[in-house]
Every structure is written in structure tokens, then in C-alpha cells.
């Protein structure tokens, strides 16, 4: 990828070149997870717009920087979940939030998503929250979103690791994203 920026007043130019990898989701029998999109807001909305993905209007937050009083929304998609004999898809999702700056013991560790809460586990500098969820969405693409309440988190850099287990096929996928919380 290459980007060229030109300043109109001075005619100065900068070129930025970078390689990046695009995952292949070619195998129809393999489970895949998209990148995690960090957002300032996610609303269910079917009206077409450049920020609408599969019936969700997403206000992206490319800086990945959030204030303590601002919910952190996360959107991702699962590809090729295996339905059971009744056509339902069953998944177990683990959300692991880790801090690069120490313990999360003072945080209330609130994650809101649709699904049955199985448990919350605290480890040094980490919080693991596990949910079970049944999906009845037809097709091979399943959009999922959640919100994180950062109000009890200390300012600093955090990493969210999402791990999904397809309970029917037994396949597991993971992806992660880092974000910053400030006062």
C-alpha cells in the first residue's frame, strides 16, 4: 500500500509505503474471525451508509483512545460457524482484558454483550469473562458487538483478546485489539 500526501500551499509531498497482510477466508469449512473494530458507538440500523455494516451503524474510533466516561464498543464478525441439526449456531466467547500497566483488581470489569454469562476469572493484570450464546442468523456471516464500561479502569493501555469456540464443530479462533483509556 502506498499513500501520497501533498500540501497544497507549499507543494511539499510525503509518500508512505507499507506492506500489510490480508487474511484469506477461502476454506468454507474453517472458522474465521474478522479484525476487531473499536468504536465510539454501535447502533442497530439498516439504513445504508459508509459506516453501516450488516445492519449496524458503527462510529469507528481509529485512534483507539477512550475517556473513562466513554463506553468502548467492539464489533467483529464470525465466518463459517457450523449450525446444529436445528439450524442454530452455538458459541462460547472468552473476552480477556489485560493491562500493560499492572493489575485490574480495582476495576469492576464490566462487559456488556448478548449471551449467558458463564463466569469471570481474575488473574494478575488480567480479567477473563466468558459467555455462551446461541445464534439463529442464517448464512455464513455472524456479526457480534459488545461494550466495555471503562469507568473503573485506571488510565493506561489495555488489550482485548476475543476467543470464540464453535461448540458444534469444536473449532476455535482468536483476535485482539489494543486501546487506551485516559481521564
pLDDT at 49: 87
- Mean pLDDT within 54-83: 95
Spell out the residues 6+ positions from residue 139 whose beta carbon is closer than 8 angstroms to its own: none
Give Cα 182 to chain centroid, integer Å. Answer: 20
DSSP string, 159-177: EEEEEEEETTT--EEEEEE
CATH match of 26-182 with 2.40.110.10: no
Q: How confident is the model at residue 123 (pLDDT cuts 50, 70, 90)?
A: low
Tell me the three cell numbers of residue 182.
485516559
Indicate the pairing of strand 172-182 with strand 65-67.
parallel
Q: Is the pTM of this model over 0.75?
A: yes
Query: Could you tell me if 128 and 94 are in contact, meaning their C-beta atoms sit under 8 angstroms apart?
Result: yes
> Looking at residue 26, what is its pLDDT?
87
Using one digit for the tens of pLDDT, what is the confidence trace for 141-150? 999 999 999 8
- The predicted-structure confidence for 10-50, as pLDDT tens digits, reads as follows 888 888 888 877 788 889 899 999 999 999 999 999 898 88
Three-state SS across 59-115?
Answer: EECCCCEEECCCCEEEEEEEECCCCCCCCCEEEEEEEEEEECCCCCCCCCCEEECCC
Give bridge partners of residue 17 from the DSSP assignment: 2
pLDDT of res. 115: 66
Q: 114: closest CA among 90, 88, 133, 87? A: 133
Which of 4-13, 27-36, 103-112 has the least mean pLDDT? 103-112
The overall average pLDDT reported for the chain is: 87
Query: What is the pLDDT confidence band of residue 100, given thresholds at 50, 70 and 90?
Result: confident
Asked if 122 and 80 count as a contact pair (C-beta separation under 8 A), the reply is no
User: Does position 105 have pLDDT exceeding 90, yes or no?
Assistant: no
Give the cell for residue 178.
489494543
Amino acid at each position: 500500500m502506498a499513500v501520497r500526501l501533498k500540501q497544497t500551499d507549499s507543494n511539499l509531498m510525503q509518500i508512505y509505503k507499507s506492506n500489510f497482510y490480508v487474511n484469506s477466508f477461502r476454506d468454507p469449512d474453517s472458522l474465521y474471525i474478522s479484525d476487531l473494530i473499536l468504536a465510539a458507538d454501535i447502533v442497530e440500523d439498516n439504513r445504508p451508509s459508509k459506516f453501516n455494516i450488516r445492519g449496524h451503524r458503527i462510529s469507528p474510533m481509529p485512534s483507539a483512545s477512550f475517556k473513562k466516561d466513554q463506553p468502548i464498543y467492539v464489533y467483529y464478525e464470525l465466518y463459517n460457524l457450523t449450525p446444529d441439526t436445528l439450524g442454530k449456531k452455538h458459541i462460547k466467547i472468552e473476552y480477556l482484558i489485560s493491562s500493560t500497566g499492572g493489575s485490574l483488581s480495582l476495576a469492576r470489569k464490566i462487559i456488556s454483550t448478548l449471551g449467558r454469562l458463564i463466569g469471570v476469572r481474575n488473574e494478575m493484570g488480567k480479567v477473563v469473562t466468558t459467555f455462551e450464546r446461541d445464534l439463529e442468523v442464517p448464512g455464513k456471516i455472524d456479526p457480534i458487538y459488545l461494550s466495555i464500561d471503562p469507568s473503573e479502569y485506571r488510565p493506561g493501555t489495555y488489550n482485548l483478546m476475543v476467543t470464540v469456540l464453535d461448540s458444534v464443530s469444536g473449532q476455535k479462533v482468536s483476535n485482539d485489539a489494543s486501546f487506551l483509556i485516559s481521564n
